[in-house]
Amino acid sequence: MANEPRIVDSADVSDQAQIGDGSSVWHLAQVREHAVLGENCVIGRGAYIGEGVVMGNNCKVQNYALVYEPARLADGVFIGPAVVLTNDHYPRAINPDGTLKSASDWEQVGVTLETGASVGARSVCVAPVTIGAWSLVAAGSVVTKDVPPHAIVAGVPATQKGWVGHAGVKLEQLGDGTWACPHSGDIYEEFENTIRKVAK
């Protein structure tokens, strides 16, 4: 039998949000209307999940991270503490005529995170960008362009520093376009603008 979601009393979860079995929403977190969380997700203290955000299974959003709509997170995504996923091309509080902007005055753009992607603490992903499957954004980075699958990126703005495998460990180059994971022993080969695991 599936486990019911755990939502602590101090969390602010909309009745219109969908929280998957086995998921936990911790103290002072907010989950907005029409957000959809998959199974076994963890939403940390003070985190914000925007209206209509869609999250797959087994995701972790750590303390005080801000996941603004219309972000899309695939299965197994990790969002570190105080990460910000933005949603506006041209952020302004007011229109050129001085009136307060409303929802109809701007176009939301989102950040997409593919399966297994990880974003380190206090990083900012400036929408619209796609963070590729199994990639790793180092802590404190500012991502302004798409990140290829399995890439490690770091810095302001973030640039690629190498490749990472499924275990999250930086790969070691073997030569001839092949790479090895020092943790798992898995072998990867270069493929177009990324790498792929070689079948054993």
Phi first, then psi: what are they for 105, rounded to 5°? -95, 0
Distances (CA, A) of 130 to 120, 122, 178: 15, 18, 25
Distances (CA, A) of 79 to 11, 62, 106, 114: 18, 6, 26, 12
Cα 146 to chain centroid distance, Å, stands at: 13
Distances (CA, A) of 180 to 4, 13, 43, 141, 194: 40, 43, 33, 25, 14
Asked if 158 and 129 touch (Cβ cutoff 8 Å), the reply is no
Beta-ladder partners of 7 = 25
Determine the 3-state secondary structure of 32 from DSSP: coil
Q: What pLDDT does residue 106 have?
A: 81
Residues 159, 170 within the same domain: no
Q: What pLDDT does residue 2 have?
A: 63
Please state the pTM of the whole predicted model.
0.94
Residues 133, 169 within the same domain: no
Residues 99, 188 within the same domain: no
Q: What pLDDT does residue 200 have?
A: 63
Phi first, then psi: what are they for 37, rounded to 5°? -110, 135
Q: What pLDDT does residue 193 have?
A: 85
Structurally, the chain folds into a number of domains equal to: 2
Residues 158, 178 within the same domain: no
Residues 54, 78 within the same domain: yes
Residues 36, 49 within the same domain: yes
CATH of residue 10: 2.160.10.10
Q: The tokens of 197 are what?
A: 């695991």
Say how far apart CA 191 and CA 1 lie, in whole Å.
42
Q: What pLDDT does residue 102 have?
A: 87
Q: What pLDDT does residue 1 have?
A: 47
Full domain range(s) for residue 170: 165-200
Question: How many Cβ atoms from other residues are within 10 Å of residue 106's Cβ?
Answer: 15
Asked if 139 and 169 touch (Cβ cutoff 8 Å), the reply is no
Residues 87, 145 within the same domain: yes
Mean pLDDT by 10 residues, the chain (200 residues): 87 98 98 98 98 98 97 98 94 92 86 98 97 98 98 98 95 93 94 85
